[in-house]
Amino acid sequence: MSKLYNVSASPHVRDKVTTKNIMQDVVIGLLPAVLAGIWVFKVPALLVLSTTCVTCILTEYFYERFMKKPITTSDYSALVTGLLLGMNLPSTIPLWIAMLGSVFAILVVKQLFGGLGQNFMNPALGARCFLLISFTGRMTSFTVDGVSQATPLALIKNADKTVAVTETLASNGVSLFDMFIGTTGGVIGETSAIAILIGAAYLFIKRIINWRIPIMYLGSFSIFVLLFGGYGLDGSYLLSQLLGGGLLLGAFFMATDYVTCPITPNGRIIYGLCLGVLTGIFRIFGGSAEGVSYAIIFCNLLVPLIEKITIPKPFGYVKMKNKK
């Protein structure tokens, strides 16, 4: 039994800061990207986000009431899941699919494993991957101002590598500045890099997230794509990879999820390195131009092992030798 990898509930340290306080700050940190998504994708984005948030809250409430468990909807964790899931969906997604994903996130990924603190993967990402597998066409259909548009990452992945990245983007009416602002094809909450960075800065200031995971994630990913991306040491290519897709949203808001990331400092560094390498592998060598969601979920499964090998040894600890 001593060799089993055990995962215990968070938090492990007593503090005056409550789960509700943390989740409130995460909601505030997400607001810039949420508002940017609504600005770019208009009313359909608002409807999707409203649907996922309301469905997540109601699913948690009715499940806990039916199971006669304490009602936890007031801690904002279900709202955070709803926001993150909605931000990971295209604005064109039918609302019934958004509702199905919300129920899956709360009921299957979160509550059936014991509720907040017991889930082994990020609920929003678990639901997104479930929907990607189940409704691939609907989940990869993007529009801007009513016009169907491929994501910048898809344009780059399918482009001739002898042509500069900026030329490839420009020929399709996209620029790095568009990617920074957010006026490109993609899911609701991932297109505006500046909005995500503003929210991330707020979380850093409030000390909600630690630098180790996002910095190691983005750093290792950057090195990987420069080495294996096929464009050499092209700064424009690196910027397009950093600004495109869900990398920034994943690095700052989902990879740092308290429940599913390591609690040890060295563990967070290893976790971030694994995330960067896996995301690079999925994006460059995989069939899809994205890969953040699958990388984070895969690394969520590695957390017990990472913590087992990085947990600090107690002072004066001496490993007992096996007696013959």
If one compares 287 and 217, the residue with the highest pLDDT of the two is 217
Residue 12 has pLDDT above 60, yes or no: no
How would DSSP label each residue in 228-273? HSSS-S-HHHHHHHHHSTTHHHIIIIITT-TTTS-SSHHHHHHHHH
Cα within 13 Å of Cα(130), Cβ side: 20
The pLDDT assigned to 13 comes to: 55
Residue 321 has pLDDT above 60, yes or no: no
pLDDT category of residue 1 using cuts at 50, 70 and 90: very low
| pTM, two decimal places | 0.88
**Residue 201 pLDDT more than 60?**
yes
- Taking only the tens place, the pLDDT of each residue in 227-284 is 998 888 889 999 999 999 899 999 999 999 988 899 899 999 999 999 999 999 999 9
Token code pair at residue 6: 């055990």
The H-assigned helical ranges of 2-122 are 19-66, 77-87, 95-103
Decide if 217 contacts 251 (C-beta within 8 A): yes
Number of residues assigned to the chain:
324
Return the pLDDT at 171. Answer: 86
pLDDT digits (tens, 9 = 90+) for 55-95: 999 999 999 999 999 998 999 999 999 999 999 999 999 99
Does the pLDDT value for residue 214 go beyond 70? yes
Give the model's confidence band at 104: pLDDT under 50 very low, under 70 low, under 90 confident, else very high.
very high
In the predicted model, what is the mean pLDDT of residues 200-223?
95
Q: For residue 54, what pLDDT is reported?
A: 97
Q: Are 122 and 260 spatial neighbours (Cβ–Cβ below 8 Å)? A: yes
Instruction: Note the pLDDT tens digit of each residue in 145-196.
Output: 666 677 888 888 888 788 888 898 898 888 999 999 988 888 999 999 999 9
Q: Give the fold, CATH level 3, of 19-310.
A: Ammonium transporter fold (1.10.3430)
Instruction: Please tell me the predicted confidence (pLDDT) of residue 132.
Output: 93
